[in-house]
Amino acid sequence: MQENNHNDTVGRIVKALSGYYFVVPEGQETNGSFTPIQCRARGIFKKRGESPLVGDRVRYGTTENGEGTVDAILPRSSELVRPQVANIDLAVLVFSVTEPTLNLQLLDKFLVHIEHAGIPTALCLSKADLAEEGPDSEEAQIAMDAVKRIYEPLGYAVYTTSSRQNGGIESLRDRLQGHLAVFAGQSGVGKSSLLNALVPGLELETSAISNRLGRGKHTTRHVELIQVGGGFVADTPGFSQLDFVELGIEELGSCFKEMRELAGSCKFRGCTHIHEPECAVRDALAEGKIESTRYEHYKLFMAEMKEKKRRY
């Protein structure tokens, strides 16, 4: 039962800023000329300890002054802790082939988090033009080849893009249609440049890499949905601090696709794939059917989780 007497409409929150939620009516999302309605959330959410998120489908009503109130949050299909965004149905992990150097351990860490959230993932290798020219072209080419060799067989689509040369932008844009996607990856990999290439005229602020630190400044300050044709992308603050314990990941093995598929064949249920006998994962590793870097990262993450647990 609604406690309000104004008409409720269903819409989607495309931006949250300073206590306001900007809502676009359902069906108008892809009409680029539509101005979102600025809404406040009703007090009832605070009482329940709930909070509307960007990406939420909500019921809202408009008030006399043209503003509105968010009255109800509709059920979510997914919810990410960091960045805080709801109903994402595609994650695009953006890693640059160089500048900053491609770090497979960090890539696997992001994948663990996204697999844990149960969201389908595509990989995007940005700055691909640097693999053809530039001082690190050889290193960049090796990194690109490694990602394709390791992750494509696991079922992750790999898109190579160059915002500068507009390379690969079209096929990535096609992949985004009809989805509510999130671009994730460490700062400085060119997420903003990529969005600018995908949406001509967007002109998001981009930051040059600080050479001294080898990391980009965080250019994105709040979560906002950016329309890309018939899809949306959540432009989120670059985040590189990923904490397994905070996310409550118990079953680390299930966040590695290849281990999840093999776990049923291990002798022991709840096998950690590290020291147990007759472990299907370690057998596959010995036979070269599992990529050794992935397994090394898995062991590393397990140790990190144990260490954190001891400290908590």
Domain membership flag for residue 1:
no
CATH value at residue 47 = 2.40.50.140
Establish whether 8 is an annotated binding residue: no
Specify the pLDDT at position 249: 66
**Domain match, 280 and 160 both:** no
CATH value at residue 271 = 1.10.40.50
Domain membership flag for residue 4:
no
Whether the per-residue pLDDT at 75 is higher than 80: the answer is yes
Domain membership flag for residue 3:
no
Establish whether 292 is an annotated binding residue: no
Establish whether 271 is an annotated binding residue: yes
Establish whether 193 is an annotated binding residue: yes
CATH value at residue 203 = 3.40.50.300
Establish whether 192 is an annotated binding residue: yes
Q: pTM for the whole thing? A: 0.83
Q: What is the pLDDT of residues 280-305, one digit of tens each?
A: 999 999 999 999 999 999 999 999 88
Domain membership flag for residue 176:
yes
Q: What is the pLDDT of residues 179-232, one digit of tens each?
A: 999 888 877 788 888 988 999 888 776 654 434 344 444 444 577 898 898 899
**Domain match, 120 and 229 both:** yes
**Domain match, 222 and 277 both:** no
Higher-scoring residue by pLDDT: 277, 224? 277
Establish whether 187 is an annotated binding residue: yes
**Domain match, 268 and 296 both:** yes
Worst-scoring range by mean pLDDT, 49-53, 128-132, 138-142, 237-241?
237-241
Q: What is the pLDDT of residues 110-129, one digit of tens each?
A: 999 889 888 999 999 999 99
Domain membership flag for residue 119:
yes
**Domain match, 91 and 180 both:** yes
**Domain match, 71 and 146 both:** no
Specify the pLDDT at position 285: 98
**Domain match, 155 and 226 both:** yes
Q: Which of 235, 265, 294 is the last residue of a domain?
A: 235
Give the count of domains, the chain. 3
**Domain match, 34 and 107 both:** no
Specify the pLDDT at position 100: 86
Higher-scoring residue by pLDDT: 18, 150? 150
Q: Which of 201, 235, 269 is the last residue of a domain?
A: 235
Establish whether 283 is an annotated binding residue: no
Instruction: Give residue 241's pLDDT band: very low, low, confident or very high (50, 70, 90).
Output: low
**Domain match, 254 and 221 both:** no
Domain membership flag for residue 2:
no
Establish whether 266 is an annotated binding residue: yes
Domain membership flag for residue 80:
no
CA 17 to chain centre: 20
Segment 144-163 mean pLDDT: 96
Specify the pLDDT at position 243: 65
Report long-range pairs for 149-158 (Cβ below 8 Å, ≥24 apart).
Answer: 150/104, 150/291, 150/293, 150/294, 151/123, 154/257, 154/258, 155/257, 156/111, 156/121, 156/122, 156/123, 157/122, 157/123, 158/122, 158/123, 158/124, 158/125
Instruction: Give residue 5's pLDDT band: very low, low, confident or very high (50, 70, 90).
Output: very low
Instruction: Give residue 245's pLDDT band: very low, low, confident or very high (50, 70, 90).
Output: low
Segment 160-180 mean pLDDT: 93
Classify residue 36 as exposed, middle or buried by CB count within 10 Å of its CB (0-12, 13-18, 19+).
buried
Domain membership flag for residue 268:
yes
Establish whether 210 is an annotated binding residue: no
Segment 13-19 mean pLDDT: 91
Specify the pLDDT at position 234: 86
Sequence-separated (6 or more) residues with CB below 8 Å from residue 202 = 195, 196, 226
Establish whether 279 is an annotated binding residue: yes
**Domain match, 191 and 161 both:** yes
Q: Which of 75, 107, 127 is the last residue of a domain?
A: 75
**Domain match, 123 and 252 both:** no
Q: What is the pLDDT of residues 247-270, one digit of tens each?
A: 666 689 999 999 999 999 999 998
**Domain match, 67 and 132 both:** no
In terms of residue numbers, what domain contains 108? 85-235
Task: Please tell me the distance from the alpha carbon of residue 299 to that of residue 286, in angstroms, as a whole number.
Answer: 15
Establish whether 188 is an annotated binding residue: yes
Report the mean per-residue pLDDT for the chain: 86
